[in-house]
Amino acid sequence: MDDFALWPVLAGAAAFFVVGALWYGVIFGKAWQKAAGISDEQVQSGNMFLIFGLTFLFEMLIAMVLWHLLARTNPAPHVIMMMAVGFAVGVMIPAIGINYLYLRKTFTHFLIDAGHFLVGMAAMGGVFVLFR
């Protein structure tokens, strides 16, 4: 595995992005909107090109870090999945949990966003297994 490989990183980020589109669209869109206290007008406002573009760039950064770790350790496929999901459970979800405590976010909001990170990282890990 190369320390950086463009296609797996792009594909892993795209998988995470697609999960987010489904998660915050058809699956939990209205529940998330209610938990976040965001109106329909607020959802439609803002520069969506910038929001989606930055989202994808952040997901690319996550994919690059995970791919680099995998390239350095060359783990078995099941370990790739453990690392991807473990990163979500051990780093990403606790980090948003800390922020949400201080922001006074609801537990429902936390669960929806935590679930997105968990499923998104599992999707990224699955893509990386395919690129091995």
Condensed to tens digits (0 to 9), the pLDDT of residues 80-96 reads: 999 999 999 999 999 99
The mean pLDDT of the chain is 96
Q: Which long-range contacts (CB under 8 A, 24 or more apart) does 20-29 make?
A: 20/55, 20/59, 20/116, 20/120, 23/112, 23/115, 23/116, 23/119, 23/120, 24/116, 28/112, 28/115, 28/116
Taking the C-alpha atoms of residue 131 and residue 1, their distance in angstroms, rounded to an integer, is 9
Look at residues 81, 82, 117, 83 and name the one whose alpha carbon lies nearest to residue 97. Answer: 117
The pLDDT tens digits for 33-57 are 999 999 999 988 989 999 999 999 9
pLDDT above 90 (res 118): yes
* pLDDT band, residue 3 (cuts 50/70/90): confident
The whole-number average pLDDT for the span 117-126 is 98
pLDDT the model gives residue 132: 84
Q: Of 2, 18, 20, which is closest to residue 92 (Cα–Cα)?
A: 20
Do residues 117 and 96 touch, judged by C-beta distance below 8 A? yes
Q: Is the pLDDT of residue 1 over 70?
A: no
Instruction: Give the separation between CA 119 and CA 132, rounded to whole angstroms.
Output: 20
Give the Cα separation of 90 and 87 in Å (integer): 5
